[in-house]
Structure 1
Amino acid sequence: MKVAHLTSAHPRYDTRIFLKECRSLAAAGHEVTLVVADGRGDEQRDGVRIVDVGKLPGRWNRIFKTTRRVLVRARSLAADVYHLHDPELMPIGRRLKRQGRTVVYDAHEDLPRQMLAKHYLNGTVSRMLSRGVEVYQRRACGDFDAVVAATPYIRDRFAEFHPRVVDVNNFPMQGELSGAPDPTLAASPEEPPSVCYVGGIAPIRGIREIVRAMESVDQECRLQLAGSFNQLAVEQEVMTYAGWARVEAHGYLDRDGVRRVMGGSLAGLVTLHPVINYLDALPVKMFEYMSAGVAVIASDFPLWREIVVGNDCGLCVDPLDPPAIAEAIDFLVANPVRAREMGANGQRAVAERYNWQQEEDKLLDTYRALSG
């Protein structure tokens, strides 16, 4: 089949969209085109044709003008299946559907619940927006041919009104992050051991508490910080904390850089705040830490505790309590053998259950059903 994946907001090498879904479909024999809007031009990569509609400044331009460009390019492809990756593309999906096209919506997030977590909106406004998004999402996606959900929880939400929904979880590709140096060892005998945080950096993702925790860590330890801050003011703020003296900030890293940072760390932090859209999420980085053989320090949410404690691959803490985070770091630094055991347990769990190869089968099965 000719397949077109469409995004107006994600980078062209997005882990879920390009590295996993598009490459898996191409490897299965489909003719795959990925339409992006980053201004970096067209290219052919890993069996996927990448088509760029150009980047426009500003969010409103992206939502209104860029989406129109995506629609024009999508129509020109005459694909058998159009696979949408952004909520702002739902109107495009409806127009394609009215023209008789097969349309799949990929629900990366629970958008209505995400509205409730917007800190800059008051409660009444966020509830109204959430309800409005819920109504529109049901109306739009109800017309689509299939919904691919990033978690079982999101799957169940869409299954309330759509007959063809499948969860294709964002689990790691086996071997991508493993094979790195022993994660319980420091880079050299003279250097202290490290823990790491990899991913987008924001207050809601716990950056303030993590850096505060480094002030209280008793063991010799460094924090390897890999990712970009979403706000300059927050970056400037945490740089004034005493714990920043124990931070090595790497900025955004490619996959090789991520592998090196994880490979040189004895634990990975994923201490997101207990906001409504995180409680039932399956954070990619948690499973990537596990895949790399790195012990996990995670927020003590029921679903996450079931995974982390259930597989004995790390520790769960109150993400709003810097001393609790520091205590977990101290324990793993002081007990490297135990940290290594937890890391191995996590790696085993990924090999047996939480891996992309199993999720890929569900994606391919969905496409086979659409072609029939």
Structure 2
Amino acid sequence: MRIAYVLLDPGIGVFGTKGASVHVQEVVRALRADGHDVTVFCTRLDGHVPADLADLDVRRHRLPRSSGAERERAVARAAAEIAAQIAAGGFDLVYERYSLFADTIALLARAVPEVSAILEVNAPLVEEQLRHRELADVDAATEATRRQLAAARLVSCVSEPVARWAREQGADPARVVVTPNGVNTARITPRTDIANDDGDGAGAGVTVGFVGTLKPWHGTDVLLRALARTDERLALDLCGAGPEQDNLERLAGELGIAGRVRLRGAVAPELVPEILRGFDIAVAPYPPGDHYFSPLKVYEYLAAGLPVVASAIGSLPELLGHGELGVLVEPGDVDALAEALGTLADDPVRRTELGHRAREAAVYEHDWRRRCRDLLARVDLPASADLLTGVRA
């Protein structure tokens, strides 16, 4: 079927390096892998085009260089113009990532009511924008959001807290589903020696890894403080860039662990699978607070067959099988995190066991193709010939 994928958030490039961009790419890959013809309509590209997406039909609507209210109005105009293009394009399905001021689905519902539409909601953006950034026209953002929620055939929310927010904003509860993030288990695979760890590596060096944007709510400062309370066998590999990078460099120096910390900066998504294969333990050290996310990094850790240490917050306890697939620690507890890292460093056999279970869960429960198939089935769309075939490791 012909699918129009719509991404009008000016902060997310289709071919960017941060998690949201990876999310976009993987959903597109999953749809294409099942034989669907995908066209992407967007406002931003960025420059890291993976080889397997080089032939993707991407139609960019350039926004003027502006900010504040002017930028908000530009996004709304872009939504109207893209809706007109989609209406004339003969698409079977519209899949839109919820963006502030974009009401493409609502406009299409009036122009081409027979076209099915899925609205993917990853965060309560109005509240998030007010808290962390700038929002000039709150009323217009709220109204566009409610129009989108009302018009979509299916509202796919990344977590139950986000689904609750969508229902509070007027979405029909019967149309709201929770679709956690997933992972491409064909692209992200374990290192080949994971099955051969014989338990003799307890005294060897251990690489603790983190992948993600370096922002305050990712708890990387807690991770550095925990590392400083472990022995020198443990080194930290931070893969990602962000506003906390300079602070983390300074903190590593103050803690006396600068030689044990590698800050890679921004990394192209196609390089991440190989980087993950260099980790021995992967960490998601979220601090206390509201946690409505479905952390993409943790699904990637699972697919890479890594033992995970994560904060017991939000959806993470359930995702990690309440300890079956990783180690859960109290959010923000430096001592607990340090102890968990040290214990796993001393026990390569347990690391291997956790890694095997993690990989199995990723393949059979969390693959992106399964996520997308489930969504398409819910809107009663025709399936490709192999839609019901199993996902292979």
Give 1:17 shift.
2.2
Matches within 5 A, 1:25-44: 25-38=31-44
2:337 maps to 1:337: no
2:289 maps to 1:268: no
Partner of 1:65: 74
Answer with 341-350 or 97-106: which moved more: 97-106
CA distance in 2, matches of 1:309, 1:84: 31
8 A contact 2:156–2:178 mirrored in 1:
yes
Q: Which runs of 5+ in 2 are unaligned?
A: 16-20, 384-393
Partner of 2:23: 16
Give 1:46 shift.
6.5
C-alpha distance after superposition, 1:214-250 (max 9, x if no partner): 2111241110100111356545543543233311111
Instruction: Select the residue among 89, 93, 108 that pairs with 2:122.
Output: 108
C-alpha distance after superposition, 1:153-182 (max 9, x if no partner): 434554574132333332112232114244
Matches within 5 A, 1:238-317: 238-242=251-255, 243-276=257-290, 278=291, 280-301=292-313, 303-310=315-322, 312-317=324-329
CA distance in 2, matches of 1:317, 1:18: 31
8 A contact 2:101–2:144 mirrored in 1:
no
- TM-score after normalising by structure 1: 0.81
Instruction: Select the residue among 374, 381, 386 that pairs with 1:362.
Output: 374
Answer with 142-151 or 265-274: which moved more: 142-151
Supply the AA of the counterpart residue of 2:8: S
Give 1:31 shift.
3.1
CA distance in 2, matches of 1:317, 1:209: 12
Bigger relative contact order, structure 1 or 2 (CA pairs below 8 A, ≥6 apart): 2
Residues 1:40 and 1:136: Cα distance change in structure 2 (over 3 Å): closer
Supply the AA of the counterpart residue of 1:313: L
Residues 1:241 and 1:193: Cα distance change in structure 2 (over 3 Å): same
SS in 2 for 1:174: coil
Supply the AA of the counterpart residue of 2:97: H
C-alpha distance after superposition, 1:33-87 (max 9, x if no partner): 101222569x993663111223654553543324423532442242433322133
Supply the AA of the counterpart residue of 2:280: L
Supply the AA of the counterpart residue of 1:151: S
Partner of 2:234: 221
8 A contact 2:103–2:145 mirrored in 1:
no
Answer with 104-113 or 201-210: which moved more: 104-113
CA distance in 2, matches of 1:281, 1:50: 27
C-alpha distance after superposition, 1:94-149 (max 9, x if no partner): 33333235443210124466468x3689xxx9xxx7x9977763454113332122
Answer with 299-308 or 133-142: which moved more: 133-142
Instruction: Select the residue among 176, 188, 193 that pairs with 1:177.
Output: 188
SS in 2 for 1:87: coil
Give 1:298 shift.
0.3
SS in 1 for 2:103: helix
8 A contact 2:119–2:148 mirrored in 1:
no
Supply the AA of the counterpart residue of 1:289: Y
SS in 1 for 2:357: helix
2:145 maps to 1:137: yes
Q: Please give the root-mean-square deviation of Cα atoms over the aligned residues, in Å.
A: 3.5
8 A contact 1:104–1:146 mirrored in 2:
yes
Partner of 1:151: 159
Give the share of equivalent positions with the same residue, in percent: 20
Number of positions where the alignment pairs a residue of Structure 1 with one of Structure 2: 357
8 A contact 1:39–1:53 mirrored in 2:
no
Give 1:292 shift.
0.5
Supply the AA of the counterpart residue of 1:19: E
Residues 1:255 and 1:312: Cα distance change in structure 2 (over 3 Å): same
CA distance in 2, matches of 1:362, 1:72: 30
Partner of 2:390: none
SS in 1 for 2:228: helix
SS in 2 for 1:173: coil
CA distance in 2, matches of 1:273, 1:310: 18
- TM-score after normalising by structure 2: 0.78
Q: Which runs of 5+ in 1 are unaligned?
A: none
Residues 1:204 and 1:53: Cα distance change in structure 2 (over 3 Å): same
C-alpha distance after superposition, 1:188-227 (max 9, x if no partner): 9998320100011111110111112221112411101001
